[in-house]
Amino acid sequence: MFKPNKNKNKNFKKGFTLVEILLAITLLITIGALSVPVALGIYDRQMNQTVTDEIYTALKKAQAYSMLAKSDSQFGIKFDNANNYFVLFQGDTYSESDVQNEKSYIYSNEIVFEPSINEDVILFEKNTGLPTTTDPVFSATTTITVNLGNNVKKIRVCETGLIEIGDSCD
């Protein structure tokens, strides 16, 4: 009768060698190092798109409220780049103490106006919804550039009242 040799399996050790463990750790670190910049780029693009959409929506809301002459008033948007927020406000001037202001915080490196606007305020005329401002040298077509890292988005507020994401007033 045949009996297996039990002593043969006693010399065999189970587990990983140090080289195998170091190789696995090195691969994980390399994959992590390559994926982090890609993930951060995707995050920055998404955040910039979100900020652009929020500003666009607030501009359209202020314009709609002005066209409807809600509360028999005009509406506007005040941008505070230093403190990272913008405010939808009622009336022809911005008042920080007005409780009806709708403040929205934004995550962005900077918001730039072309041409430059005094006080960073865009108003919409009551009933027509056409853009105006308290700035006497205001150009009716304004570009709002939202920058976050290498990601740049633009919103155009055209003199015809059209508000578009991008460079065009068509």
Distance CA 118, CA 53 (A): 23
* pTM of the predicted protein model: 0.76
pLDDT in tens, 57-110: 999 999 999 999 888 889 999 888 778 888 999 988 888 888 888 888 877 667
Residue 120 burial (CB count, 10 A): 20
What's the whole-number mean pLDDT along residues 11-32? 88
Distance CA 134, CA 89 (A): 14
- State the virtual CA torsion across 67, 68, 69, 70 in degrees, nearest 10: -130
Domain 17-165 has CATH 3.30.300.10: no
- The confidence band for 112, taking pLDDT boundaries of 50, 70 and 90, is confident
Q: Domain ranges for the chain, please list them.
A: 17-165
> Is the pLDDT assigned to residue 20 strictly greater than 80?
yes
Residue type, 140: A
Concatenated DSSP letters for 45-79? HHHHHHHHHHHHHHHHHHHHHHHHTGGG--EEEEE
Concatenated DSSP letters for 99-128? TT-EEEE---SEEEEES--GGGEEEE-TTT
Residue type, 60: K
Structure tokens at 79: 């941008």
pLDDT in tens, 29-52: 999 999 998 888 888 888 888 889
- The confidence band for 26, taking pLDDT boundaries of 50, 70 and 90, is very high
Quote the mean pLDDT of the chain: 83
Which H or E run contains 145?
strand 142-148
Q: What is the pLDDT of residue 89?
A: 92
Q: What is the pLDDT of residue 132?
A: 80
